[in-house]
């Protein structure tokens, strides 16, 4: 038991050490105090260097592993984590549209009648009571992709094929003044070097970047790789496209599981021909070739395969975001800064996918750079609501959402009874009431990226495949259909 003494009624234990031991303890305590003072000084110096900008720590996630990315004299410390829920992947204060359904126009009765009686384009399909004013607008938008919907309607109205937008607007984008604007895509000004580096580090840590490229298109792969390196993006992965131009390519793709074995190309082609039965024979063939040619089939299969591979890669790397580029895309110098600002400051938290450049987007503007896509209710469901929202040049996905998106696209695109759903951009817009799909209008110049060439590689592959077959695809399919009926 320890003896104790009292002072002012408070009991204290007797000293535990002898006088000699006590002097040794005092000396040890002095050493500890000196070490603590030196440590505090070192921490202070480190803090000064930190706040002066020599080191930037990316916060906002729970850290599981750390790695450094050197930038000249700077070192950006990036956090990689399996706990992705704490990442800032949206703007929680930005309201999302509550209900998205296929939307159609409600024009004044006089103009409803007038737009049904407007002469229709010679290559248009006939079915139901179509709004030909809108059909003409969609066609003009396809050829004038940088025009706003207001400007498109002005062009069509000047030809006497639609009302002027000042009198009766036909809004491809509702609330168009918010995002359907050329000036909202201009290059960013007054961006500090520190923000640029931080944005590139953010992309490196959080975004799995993939490029869809045919093995034979080495020139395009070199061009897009060079462009990535020019803007500071160093990690990206090539996903080979699917070339369907050779004999037996479709059967091979079905055997490998990239096209369903149950999908009937002959049935899909025949239904497409029937849709354009009112057109001339050449127009009927050309439209069917565009929708059902081997280039189109290969493009559809390649995008679905790319989604599967990109998702597996992103999950292995613990990255919450994925971008799949087509090799025709050319990103802008400020791409990384714009992307980070868009994700962290602008996009509503319900988002699943964002097209970083969409031609003729159909929906409603919700932020200065984004439209929420809607299915085009002016076109029938069996035509896959085939309206606007074209292009898959640069698609940003949540890694957690891409599995569901791909499974729904697989079901829709490989439905031979609805052949208009085969193009992946059309199919994606058709499920915008199931998937929170946003898009940056192409009218924002130059925006995030541009199409490097207006030349359609997909259509070229359609014609190449037809030439290699030695006969028109139509006659070849008719022959296969006759053989099938004989066997039955």
Residue 443's CB: how many other CB atoms inside 10 A? Answer: 28
Q: Per-residue pLDDT tens for 96-142?
A: 988 899 999 999 999 999 999 999 888 788 887 899 999 999 999 98
Contact 389, 447 (CB under 8 A): no
Contact 162, 119 (CB under 8 A): no
Upper half-sphere CA count for residue 183 (Cβ side, 13 Å): 2
Residues 146 and 261 in one domain: no
Domain boundary, last residue among 119, 136, 170:
170
CA distance 475 to 133: 35
CA distance 392 to 373: 14
CA distance 114 to 105: 14
Per-residue pLDDT, 246: 85
What's the structural domain count of the chain? 4
Q: What is the DSSP string of 335-347?
A: HHHHHHHIIIIIS
Residues 397 and 276 in one domain: yes
State the DSSP H helix or E strand holding residue 484, giving kind and residue range, or none if neither.
helix 473-487
Per-residue pLDDT, 126: 83
Print the domain residue range for 136: 109-170
Residues 359 and 383 in one domain: yes
Per-residue pLDDT, 291: 84
Residue 432 placed within a domain: yes
Q: Which two tokens stand for residue 140?
A: 């003009």
Residues 332 and 375 in one domain: yes
Contact 358, 440 (CB under 8 A): yes
Residues 125 and 37 in one domain: no
Q: Per-residue pLDDT tens for 257-281?
A: 999 999 999 999 999 888 888 778 8
% residues pLDDT > 70 (the chain): 77
Q: Which two tokens stand for residue 359?
A: 């031609």
CA distance 258 to 237: 20
349-381 per-residue burial string, b: 16 or more CB within 10 A, e: under 16: ebbbbbbbbbbbbbbbbbbebbbbbbbbbbbbe
Residues (pLDDT < 70) of the chain are 1-86, 453-459, 463, 469-488
For residue 475, the 8-state DSSP code is H
CA distance 35 to 442: 62
- Per the DSSP assignment, residues forming a β-bridge with 451 are 329
Residue 268 placed within a domain: yes
Residues 324 and 396 in one domain: yes
Upper half-sphere CA count for residue 111 (Cβ side, 13 Å): 17
């Amino acid at each position: 038991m320890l003896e104790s003494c009292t002072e002012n009624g408070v009991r204290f234990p007797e000293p535990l050490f002898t006088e000699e031991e006590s002097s040794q303890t005092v000396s040890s305590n002095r050493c500890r105090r000196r070490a603590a003072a030196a440590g505090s000084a070192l921490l202070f110096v480190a803090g000064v260097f930190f706040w002066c900008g020599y080191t930037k720590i990316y916060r906002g996630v729970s850290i599981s592993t750390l790695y450094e990315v050197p930038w000249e004299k700077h070192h950006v410390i990036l956090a990689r984590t399996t706990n992705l829920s704490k990442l800032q992947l949206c703007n929680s204060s930005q309201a999302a549209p509550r209900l998205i359904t296929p939307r159609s126009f409600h024009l004044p009765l006089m103009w409803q009648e007038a737009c049904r009686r407007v002469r229709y384009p010679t290559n248009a399909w006939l079915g139901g009571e179509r709004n030909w004013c809108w059909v003409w607008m969609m066609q003009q938008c396809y050829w004038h992709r940088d025009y706003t919907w207001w400007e498109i309607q002005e062009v069509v109205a000047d030809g006497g094929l639609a009302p002027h937008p000042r009198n009766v607007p036909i809004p491809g984008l509702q609330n168009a003044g918010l995002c359907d604007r050329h000036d909202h895509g201009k290059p960013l000004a007054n961006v500090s070097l520190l923000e640029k580096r931080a944005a590139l580090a953010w992309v490196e840590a959080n975004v799995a970047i993939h490029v869809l490229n045919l093995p034979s298109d080495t020139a395009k792969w070199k061009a897009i790789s060079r462009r990535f390196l020019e803007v500071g993006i160093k990690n990206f992965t090539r996903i080979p496209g699917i070339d369907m131009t050779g004999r037996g390519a479709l059967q091979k793709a079905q055997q490998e599981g990239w096209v369903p074995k149950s999908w009937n190309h002959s049935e899909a082609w025949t239904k497409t021909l029937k849709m354009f039965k009112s057109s001339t024979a050449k127009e009927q063939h050309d439209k069917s070739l565009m929708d059902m040619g081997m280039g189109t089939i290969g493009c559809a299969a390649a995008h679905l395969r790319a989604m599967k591979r990109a998702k597996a890669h992103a999950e292995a790397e613990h990255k919450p975001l994925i971008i799949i580029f087509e090799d025709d895309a050319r990103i802008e110098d400020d791409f990384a800064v714009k992307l980070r600002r868009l994700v962290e400051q602008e996009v509503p938290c319900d988002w699943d996918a964002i097209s970083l450049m969409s031609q003729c987007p159909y929906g409603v503007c919700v932020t200065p750079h984004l439209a929420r896509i809607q299915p085009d209710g002016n076109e029938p469901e069996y035509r896959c609501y085939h309206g606007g929202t074209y292009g898959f040049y640069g698609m940003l996905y949540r890694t957690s959402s891409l599995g569901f998106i791909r499974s729904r696209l697989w079901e829709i695109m490989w439905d031979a009874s609805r052949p208009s759903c085969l193009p992946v951009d059309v199919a994606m817009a058709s499920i915008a009431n199931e998937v929170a799909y946003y898009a940056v209008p192409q009218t924002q110049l130059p925006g995030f990226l541009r199409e490097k060439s207006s030349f359609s590689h997909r259509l070229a592959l359609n014609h190449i495949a037809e030439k290699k077959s030695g006969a028109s695809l139509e006659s070849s399919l008719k022959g296969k259909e006759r053989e099938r009926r004989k066997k039955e």
